[in-house]
A = this chain, B = another copy of it.
Amino acid sequence: MASTDQRDSLQNAICLSHHVNARSKARRPSPLKDIIHFMSQEGMISFAGGLPHPSLFPIHRANFVVSNVSSPRALEYNDESVLELSSTAGSPTLANFLQYGNGAGNPQLRQWCLDFTLQIHQPPYKDVEVLLHQGNTNAWSKVVGLLCEEGDHILCESFTYPSAQALWIPLGNFAAPIPMDDQGIHPDALEQMLASWNETHPGVRRPHVLYLVGVGSNPSGTTMREDRKRTIYSICSKYDIIIVEDDPYYFIQYSKYGTDSGTTYELQPNDAFKAFLAPSFLRYDYQGRVIRLESFSKSLAPGLRLGYFVANSSFTERLLRATEVETQDPAGLSQAVVLSILRQWTVDGYLTWLQNLSNQYQMRCDWMISAFAKNFELVPASAFPNLNADGLVAAMKTGSGSIPIFSFVPPIGGMFIWAMFHFSANPRFKELRHDSKIEDPEQSFANELWMRFAENLVLLTPGSYYHPWQGADKVSTQARGVEPETSHFRFSFAMVTRDDIELGVTRMAEVVKSSWNL
């Protein structure tokens, strides 16, 4: 961790206020804030606040039975401890969390999150701040409200999170998708899009916001490591882009399938875990152009609806103005229980918890890939040089050789395997491709295949849900300019048992055999 002295010697963020949109610039602090410092004056009798009386709150005490992290087997529920929250004792009390907050969130929890951020991500500028939010859905909504004007194009991954898009499409924004490889968006493609923007999009403002899920991306499962992040950061700096890093899966990072066969998913020392984690963009953010969306949804529980922004102080100030009028503080019980858990666990215990979590999801990922291996031939993509695929190919043997069915990059983070299905050898697909009435044979066949999977009781998420919205004229496979004769499906391994994974993959393989006539 950078010492206080080291941080004191850092520069503040550069001025990035030209990225803030007109509506956000027009927000004013509440006039009520002007009198808050009078309220705390010695002997003052205040008739000014509008708060209800805390003696009239019906919740007096709360206990939470939570996992202990002292043992590496905490996830098995046999090691628990009790957290007590009371209205009459402790600091801060339960009554504080049941009262109105100030918009920014409980100061102790913010401080915990800031200290943790400085320790883990080491942002190399000084005025980095933390502001609590209601989960990354809400956080992204506030960031679009901060930065985007109607008509803006938003740089994003070539497959992007649908809820993020569902927000921006009605606001009149468009996606500017960047082609990806096994580490996420490709720097050459990003550079090329930005360098040629004015020719390719005459009269349209060049994108100034990049939205991405840098670790265990949803849906593509990719994780971007050190060099790639450094390169992307430097392009964003050159073209003055704000990087919005939506990173809910950050602490679910693990080793690649097969790199440690017979793995026992044991804990390492926390320092080794920290060193193993792909860095955040914050690590390279000497200018303060990264807005990090951190969430407790995957590390603790989604129903808490709690996370935090990490950004330069002028962005957090504007985000706080939006918070005051759009949401106010996150729910007090969520803040209270998270602060209590983190204090009880300490940073070290939290890292142990996160390692345990990562091991659990790695194990589930390994179950799924092993099930692929049982039902398909799993070979490196290089075995099919004509395929334009990364990672591994799941193929089916025939009399005359092997037919590639789908390819995927084994994830090193998150909850998803993103499979590119290769349709060229499928007889039904060939039929559709030669039917002049079919406008988008790839999508038509993907729909049929999805329905056959579902009829055989295995449900995948269609890749079409993640197509970036570039306007009504860029919807078909051809118009989007993507790899022909392919379509994607997303496999989530987070919520299923080992038996169900094996049964589900077997069902899928049966559908494939039948559909491909194998």
A interface residues with partner B (beta carbon < 8 Å): 23-24, 26-28, 30-32, 35, 38-39, 41, 43-53, 55-67, 75, 77, 80, 97-101, 134-135, 137-138, 141, 162-163, 166-167, 169-172, 218, 297-298, 300-306, 324-334, 337, 341, 353, 357, 360, 364, 368, 415-416, 454, 457-462, 464-465, 490-496, 500-501, 503-504, 507
- A458 CB contact (under 8 Å) in B45, B66, B134: B45
- The secondary structure that dominates the A interface is mixed
Partner pick for A492 among B50, B170, B364, B495, CB 8 A cutoff: B50
Considering the complex of A and B, which 5 residue pairs feature the smallest CB-CB distances, nearest first? Answer: A303-B332, A331-B331, A45-B504, A26-B170, A98-B301
Complex Cα gap A330–B459 (Å): 28
Q: Are B459 and A45 in contact (CB under 8 A)?
A: yes
Interface pair B301/A59, CB less than 8 Å apart = yes
A301 near B58: Cβ-Cβ < 8 Å: yes
Q: Contacts A30-B162, A305-B330 known; list 8 others, CB within 8 Å.
A: A44-B458, A45-B504, A49-B495, A55-B75, A60-B67, A166-B324, A304-B331, A306-B331
> Does B52 contact A494, Cβ atoms closer than 8 Å?
yes
B99 engages A459 (CB within 8 Å): no
Q: Which residues of B contact A326 (CB under 8 A)?
A: 137-138, 141, 167
Chosen A-B contacts, 29 in total, with CB atoms closer than 8 Å, are A28-B169, A30-B162, A35-B459, A38-B459, A43-B457, A44-B457, A44-B458, A45-B457, A46-B495, A47-B460, A48-B459, A50-B461, A52-B301, A52-B415, A53-B364, A53-B494, A57-B301, A59-B64, A59-B66, A59-B300, A59-B301, A60-B67, A99-B302, A137-B328, A303-B332, A304-B331, A305-B329, A305-B332, A330-B331
**Which residues of the partner chain B approach A303 to less than 8 Å between Cβ atoms?**
97-101, 329, 331-333
Contact of A80 with B60 at beta-carbon distance under 8 Å, contacts A53-B494, A327-B134, A496-B46 already known:
yes
Chain B residues closer than 8 Å to A43, beta-carbon distance: 457
Q: Give A346 Cβ to nearest chain B Cβ, in Å.
A: 14
Residues on B with beta carbons closer than 8 Å to the beta carbon of A364: 53
Residues of chain B within 8 A of A63, CB atoms compared: 62-63
In the complex where A50-B494, A53-B360, A301-B59 touch, is A27 in contact with B166 (Cβ < 8 A)?
A: yes
CB distance from A345 to the nearest CB of B (A): 9
Determine the residue in chain B with the shortest Cβ distance to A29.
Answer: B166
By the criterion CB–CB under 8 Å, are B56 and A360 in contact?
yes
Which of chain B's residues have a CB closer than 8 A to the CB of A300?
A: 57-59
Residues of B within 8 A of A47 (CB): 368, 458-461, 490-493, 496, 501, 504
Inter-chain CA distance A507–B43, complex, in Å, is: 12
Q: Is the CB of B59 within 8 A of A65?
A: yes
Contacts of A135 in B (CB 8 A): 327-328
CB-CB < 8 A to A59: which residues of B? 64-66, 300-301, 337, 341
A35 to chain B, nearest CB (A): 6
Q: Inside 8 A of A55's CB, which chain B residues have their CB?
A: 75, 77
- Bound-complex Cα distance A28 to B168 (A): 11
Residue of chain B at shortest CB distance from A96: B303
Measured CA separation A89–B38 after assembly (Å): 49
In this complex, which of A41, A134, A465 has the most chain B Cβ atoms within 10 angstroms of its Cβ?
A: A134
A77–B60 contact, CB under 8 A? yes
Give Cα A60–Cα B303 distance, bound, in whole angstroms. Answer: 13
The minimal Cβ–Cβ distance linking A412 to chain B, given in whole angstroms, is 18
- Bound CA–CA A329/B135 (angstroms): 10
Q: A510: shortest Cβ distance to chain B, in Å?
A: 13
